[in-house]
């Protein structure tokens, strides 16, 4: 009898330690994302890295899990049974022949009572509490010529929330207009003939190369240190020289001849080379009068249009600081 009661109290005490159960509930957070300047490429960050969502402005429904705690009040039987065992032990202590058994029941019952009260009181305190599995959701925005912008949005327990966030991107230092120095003011901008980018990889089509070439030309012009010969003028000069296409004018002699024909002072030859991993954009600026190399620049990047446009920014920055 005594051994059975002790086993019951011990088992009940161990089960009482798990008197609280946990459940997961799915909720959602709606985030309206804008960017300054508009049109930034938006990513959402997670444990596996970042996932591209699209271009701002856009709305995102982020699903998250809420953990709820519930206390099973049947565990109040534990202190009740323990109190009964303790009372029974006190009764047995009044009998001289069972004083040893009475002391054991009283001791075990009193211990079970304290343990049961602690478990139940903690369970009542935790009952109904809610916590989110994740504390926040992280977004970022990127745009060529701007630094990446990040935003951490805290997640609250209430569901159906709506948040508005603006990702503010800062221009890269290389694209900010620098105050002209006395030497820059005195020296006029160089006239440069920009030849089509030579693709030394097998993964870019003509459309991408044309877009990258146009971007490179615009950044050179924006620097204020170069005046770029229009592409149409290069094409017309090629026809007069009875060449097949200036796209295939890759050797230095041809480039010098064409550059001089359009009264350019310098010629810019740019190449895309494959690295492992990534790509490299390499540019060489030739002095047409001296027929020598005036400057060179290169930048590593991802093998994407956006990556190469960022590399073009770096190349222009290197060329304009020579």
pLDDT surpasses 80 at 208: yes
Contact (CB, 8 A) for 294 and 286? yes
Please count the structural domains in the chain: 2
| Same domain (yes/no): 217, 125 | no
179 domain residue, yes or no:
no
* 3-state secondary structure (DSSP) of residue 317: helix
pLDDT surpasses 60 at 1: no
Q: How confident is the model at residue 9 (pLDDT cuts 50, 70, 90)?
A: very low
Q: How confident is the model at residue 105 (pLDDT cuts 50, 70, 90)?
A: low
292 domain residue, yes or no:
yes
Q: Average of pLDDT values for 125-142?
A: 74
Nearest Cα residue to 268 out of 190, 189, 183: 190
Nearest Cα residue to 144 out of 309, 303, 298, 302: 309
| Same domain (yes/no): 79, 127 | yes
- What CATH number is associated with residue 239? 3.40.50.10070
Contact (CB, 8 A) for 106 and 93? yes
Nearest Cα residue to 267 out of 257, 259, 279, 278: 259
| Same domain (yes/no): 67, 110 | yes
Phi and psi for 69 in degrees, rounded to 5? -110, 130
181 domain residue, yes or no:
no
Inter-axis angle of helices 77-93 and 2-16, nearest 10:
150
Torsion sign over Cα 123, 126, 127, 132: negative
| Same domain (yes/no): 91, 222 | no
Structural domain including 213 reads 188-320
Q: How confident is the model at residue 112 (pLDDT cuts 50, 70, 90)?
A: low
Q: How many CB atoms lie within 10 A of CB 31?
A: 21
């Amino acid at each position: 009898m005594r051994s059975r009661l002790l086993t019951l109290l011990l088992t009940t005490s161990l089960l009482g330690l798990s008197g609280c159960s946990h459940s997961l509930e799915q909720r959602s957070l709606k985030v309206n994302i804008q960017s300054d300047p508009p049109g930034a490429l938006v990513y959402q960050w997670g444990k596996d890295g970042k996932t591209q969502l699209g271009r701002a402005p856009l709305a995102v429904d982020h699903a998250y899990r809420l953990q709820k705690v519930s206390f099973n009040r049947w565990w109040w039987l534990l202190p009740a049974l323990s109190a009964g065992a303790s009372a029974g032990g006190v009764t047995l202590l009044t009998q001289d022949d069972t004083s040893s058994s009475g002391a054991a029941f009283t001791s075990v019952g009193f211990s079970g009572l304290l343990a049961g009260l602690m478990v139940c009181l903690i369970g009542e305190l935790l009952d109904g509490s809610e916590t989110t599995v994740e504390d926040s959701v992280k977004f970022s925005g990127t745009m060529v010529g701007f630094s990446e912008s990040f935003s951490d949005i805290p997640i609250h327990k209430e569901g159906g929330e709506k948040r508005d966030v603006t990702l503010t991107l800062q221009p890269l230092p290389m694209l900010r207009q620098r105050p002209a120095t006395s030497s820059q003011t005195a020296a006029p901008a160089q006239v440069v003939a920009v030849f089509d980018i030579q693709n030394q990889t097998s993964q870019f089509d003509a459309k991408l190369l044309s877009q990258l070439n146009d971007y490179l030309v615009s950044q050179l012009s924006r620097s204020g240190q170069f005046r770029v010969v229009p592409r149409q003028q290069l094409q017309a000069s090629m026809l007069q020289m009875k060449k097949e296409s200036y796209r295939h004018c890759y050797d230095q002699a041809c480039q010098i001849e064409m550059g001089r024909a359009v009264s350019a002072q310098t010629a810019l030859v740019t190449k895309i080379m494959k690295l492992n991993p990534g790509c490299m954009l390499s540019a060489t600026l030739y002095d047409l009068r001296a027929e020598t190399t005036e400057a060179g620049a290169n930048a590593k990047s991802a093998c994407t249009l956006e990556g190469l446009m960022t590399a073009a920014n770096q190349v222009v920055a290197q060329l304009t600081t020579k």
